[in-house]
Amino acid sequence: MRTTLSLPWRLAQGTAVVVLAAFVAALALDRRDVLDVFWMIVIPVLPASFLVAPMLWRNVCPLATINHWTGDRTGRQPPSPQTLRMLQWTGIALLFVLVPLRHVVLNTIPVGMLALVAVVGVIVLLAGVRWAVRAGFCNGLCPVRPVELLYGQRPLVDVPRARCATCVLCVPVGCPDVWRARTMPRLIDNHANRPWFTEPFGFFTLAFPGLVLAYFLTTDLTPWTTVYGLMLVLVAASVMTLGGLIALLKPSRALATAVLAALAFGLYYWYAAPGFAEAIRLPGGPWPVRTVAGLLLLVWVVPRGPHGNGQGG
């Protein structure tokens, strides 16, 4: 399976790496305003981009570029299915650690964010050294990947992959570059003898709405014990409540994961809209953002034919 790596994509990938380097430099200079731009403007755009065209971010993510460059040159072998499962569980756990950590450190302390970027950078490099191409980080440890997969179930725009000229099967199953919208179904339906929600990404779909709600119900001034305590309570409540409803109503896996994605997306933009609108000085406050997010979600949930679901290989 081959694809052409065009010059525009290469330029976009290089630009993203340069922007990352500039971001690191600004953090080293203790620039709090850079943190505000990152958390209040850049990050709120990403979930919508995952919903519309998840391949867009996978094609330009600077960490993916670094992981690919390292893994393509030094990565020795793909992870086994057991190792990949462990890496995926670890990536999900990292997300649930890092989101509350925003209130504790990352939202307000540049040097804290700088330390995180440094640690993640080392992990990306080591994953490239250990496993082939992007198997270790992008398809395993990345804490953003679960959100990409959740919102990327029904992409509105099918963007071609722009990383691997030749697929070398660096993971045994579930590369979004190959499987696109079928990636999450492929991963959580991988074991017929286990319920889909016991798989890493199946469990994540139940827990994520609770994580989103917990983050927005706390603030940067909240003690870390309260931040993580509320997260544990709401995540547990999310898993038990939503899991119980699924067990009772017995919807199809496709319907259940789509509804759970819509719930998490709606919660996120309802609460994130005021900060985003203020950061970009949007007339009308949060309601234009909420309206656009709602309309986008409405289009997303409408059933589409096989040529409109982004499932090309």
Average pLDDT rounded to a whole number, residues 241-269: 93
Q: Is the pLDDT of residue 307 over 50?
A: no
pTM over the 0.85 mark: yes
Instruction: Give the pLDDT of residue 304.
Output: 65
Instruction: Give the pLDDT of residue 193.
Output: 67
Q: Is the pLDDT of residue 127 over 70?
A: yes
Question: How far is CA 276 from each of CA 36, 131, 147, rounded to the nearest angstrom?
Answer: 10, 38, 19
**pLDDT tens-place string over residues 86-119:** 888 999 999 999 999 999 999 999 999 999 999 9
Structural domain count of the chain? 1
Would you say residue 307 lies in a domain? no
Would you say residue 228 lies in a domain? yes
Work out the pLDDT band at 312, boundaries 50, 70, 90. Answer: very low
Residues 6+ apart with CB under 8 A from 62: 13, 16, 17, 19, 20
The structure tokens 């950590």 sit at 101
Would you say residue 309 lies in a domain? no
Work out the pLDDT band at 190, boundaries 50, 70, 90. Answer: low
Give 197's DSSP letter. G
For the chain, the residue count is 313
127-148 burial code (b ≥16 CB/10 A, e <16): bbebbbbbbbbbbbbbbbbbbb
What's the domain range around 217? 7-301
Would you say residue 291 lies in a domain? yes
Would you say residue 1 lies in a domain? no
Q: Are 110 and 34 in contact (CB under 8 A)?
A: yes
Would you say residue 91 lies in a domain? yes
Would you say residue 246 lies in a domain? yes
Q: Is the pLDDT of residue 191 over 70?
A: no
Would you say residue 206 lies in a domain? yes
The mean pLDDT value of the chain amounts to 88
